[in-house]
A and B are shown apart, each in its own frame.
Chain A
């Protein structure tokens, strides 16, 4: 069995015994075979000395058991690394940042504690998956939707804490934004409720976020300041209907007013589903690859903006851009909202419109089978089609990691990001698309996703890691930061948030030293290291 760094063998075996007393012997995993199941299946270090691996794992079933485990870890200064469902694939999975950590696996804490249909919220434990919450709501017959990420087998708690997102109305789409109230076990085993939950007997823990005084929930996301054991979430009432419509515009520069109009419509609450910008000319995320002719033009230095491509589009009469806008609401209202959206987009010369899908909700079984399920609050694993074996992908890899910078919500920024990243792709021989459009639409920012394949070939992984780190640097030089990243790159990304000599990280470290002085909780997570390991920071 691997020892945690700096921990004496006797202390570790004593701590393991106490873990067993706390949670039951069968829920403490120490054999190589069992601990190997905590590897990151998509680790960019797969099989290398630097791969971050656990020493053991402990799986409590209740918050009281979590408290006992944390107190033991604190007494023996054992590093522990918390996971909810451990399905954060592409961003670290169930493996720790610090090799030798004991994984605190909260999967067994899988209770949906409360769902209020009347006030549209839920309170769940970390081991609850989106599928669990969805099924619970279906079984109860509540007319509520859960905003799910894609794929949806992860945990609402874990996903929100990692700043994940989904597809529904904007107030639900950002999962951390849509949470309300937390329960947190601190490093000394103390138990904390945030927001209204701080008041014994509070009646509004999941209904009012802030309570009284500083709102501290944010410091428990993308961090290692506590172990979150409960979280409340606001749910979306099932709408009456769903409608989509698509506008296409003919010219390269039309992307700028297209995005500005879309942003206005979203910020005004007119379009309230997650939109999708595409290109009839070159395709996009999850679309078939462009023709060889277009691919050749895209590969040139000007890429998507090359005069040759613009001429090609004009000559062929192919519109450069499309934007699909989506609406949830009463059928008559959303038809009027689409009409209003068309009026606004009509200001772009040559704009054309196409009505899309319309569904009265709930979906019929036939509709259920053919829609993109997350847009209807239904968890799905169909997103894995991207990397799985298929006729288009006969030799699949072993996984992927995501490079995911936040880009301003303007056409100019999309052009610039493509110019910079496609140049980098050419320079480094990167296996990323030569042209990308936003994948995630936050209210005031885009997120781009570039997938890097994971292989079991050390040389390839090493090359991809180096390229990934260069991309982080290049993005930062242009003012773009990542919203989330795998443990392998968290120090690199955190280092780019360096205003005033890393004032933000220095603040995180001050907090870390105050709330977790022995540095036992998830050392290194999101680049925050405890004092005694800070030398490990790049």
Chain B
């Protein structure tokens, strides 16, 4: 039993570490590809979301609590308004998974 608990706690630790690594990767992808428009400040993506939601949702994507991973993936691969879609040589599927996980981390 003790061994099983040890094994389980080890597994949980590994899973949490992997998750942290994914989130760290996602943050890195966000900062490289997204923050130049969606970062803090009067940047086009942030201003656009402020104008769209008028405060009913945070203008900063990193503060959103409702971004399902699929929503992020759809916007990245389909684009919206003047934001173009991104190719897989720019944001790979693995990077996009990490980005989507990062933007979903505050989800309630």
Q: A residues near B, CB below 8 A? A: 27, 29, 33-34, 36-39, 41-42, 57, 59, 85-86, 89, 93-94, 105, 107-108, 127, 131, 153, 369, 379-382, 384-385, 387-391, 394, 396-400
Q: Which of B6-14, B60-68, B80-88, B98-106 contacts A (4 or more CB under 8 A)?
A: B80-88
Which of A89, A379, A382, A399 is the one whose CB lies under 8 Å from B43?
Answer: A382
Knowing A89-B84, A388-B81, A397-B81, say if A107 contacts B89 (CB, 8 Å).
yes
Please name all residues of chain A whose beta carbon is closer than 8 Å to the beta carbon of B49 when the two chains form the complex.
Answer: 389
Interface: B36 (CB within 8 A): yes
Bound CA span A127–B43, Å: 25
Please name all residues of chain A whose beta carbon is closer than 8 Å to the beta carbon of B36 when the two chains form the complex.
Answer: 131, 153, 379-381
Tell whether, in the assembled complex, residue B82 and residue A397 are in contact, meaning their CB atoms are under 8 Å apart.
yes
Which of B82, B87, B90 is the one whose CB lies under 8 Å from A387?
Answer: B82
Tell whether, in the assembled complex, residue A41 and residue B79 are in contact, meaning their CB atoms are under 8 Å apart.
yes
Please name all residues of chain B whose beta carbon is closer than 8 Å to the beta carbon of A381 when the two chains form the complex.
Answer: 36-37, 43-44
Interface: B51 (CB within 8 A): yes
Closest chain B residue, CB of each to CB of A380:
B36
Tell whether, in the assembled complex, residue B82 and residue A396 are in contact, meaning their CB atoms are under 8 Å apart.
yes
Bound CA span A400–B81, Å: 11
Please name all residues of chain A whose beta carbon is closer than 8 Å to the beta carbon of B48 when the two chains form the complex.
Answer: 388-390, 396
Q: Can you name 7 A-B pairs with beta carbons within 8 Å?
A: A36-B85, A37-B86, A37-B88, A41-B79, A380-B36, A389-B51, A397-B82
Interface: B47 (CB within 8 A): yes
Please name all residues of chain A whose beta carbon is closer than 8 Å to the beta carbon of B79 when the two chains form the complex.
Answer: 41
Please name all residues of chain A whose beta carbon is closer than 8 Å to the beta carbon of B52 when the two chains form the complex.
Answer: 389
Nearest-Cβ distance from residue B85 to partner chain A, whole angstroms: 6
Tell whether, in the assembled complex, residue B81 and residue A398 are in contact, meaning their CB atoms are under 8 Å apart.
yes
Closest chain B residue, CB of each to CB of A389:
B48
Please name all residues of chain B whose beta carbon is closer than 8 Å to the beta carbon of A93 when the two chains form the complex.
Answer: 84
Please name all residues of chain B whose beta carbon is closer than 8 Å to the beta carbon of A382 when the two chains form the complex.
Answer: 42-44
Tell whether, in the assembled complex, residue A41 and residue B47 are in contact, meaning their CB atoms are under 8 Å apart.
no
Bound CA span A400–B48, Å: 17
Please name all residues of chain A whose beta carbon is closer than 8 Å to the beta carbon of B82 when the two chains form the complex.
Answer: 42, 384, 387-388, 396-400
Closest chain B residue, CB of each to CB of A387:
B82
Interface: B41 (CB within 8 A): yes
Tell whether, in the assembled complex, residue B45 and residue A388 are in contact, meaning their CB atoms are under 8 Å apart.
yes
- The 7 A-B residue pairs with the shortest CB-CB distance, nearest first, are A41-B84, A389-B48, A107-B89, A384-B44, A388-B44, A37-B87, A387-B82
Please name all residues of chain B whose beta carbon is closer than 8 Å to the beta carbon of A27 when the two chains form the complex.
Answer: 89
Tell whether, in the assembled complex, residue B89 and residue A391 are in contact, meaning their CB atoms are under 8 Å apart.
no
Known: A93-B84, A396-B82, A398-B82. 10 other contacts (CB 8 A): A59-B89, A86-B87, A94-B87, A380-B36, A385-B42, A390-B47, A390-B48, A390-B51, A391-B51, A397-B81
Tell whether, in the assembled complex, residue B47 and residue A385 are in contact, meaning their CB atoms are under 8 Å apart.
yes
Bound CA span A57–B90, Å: 13
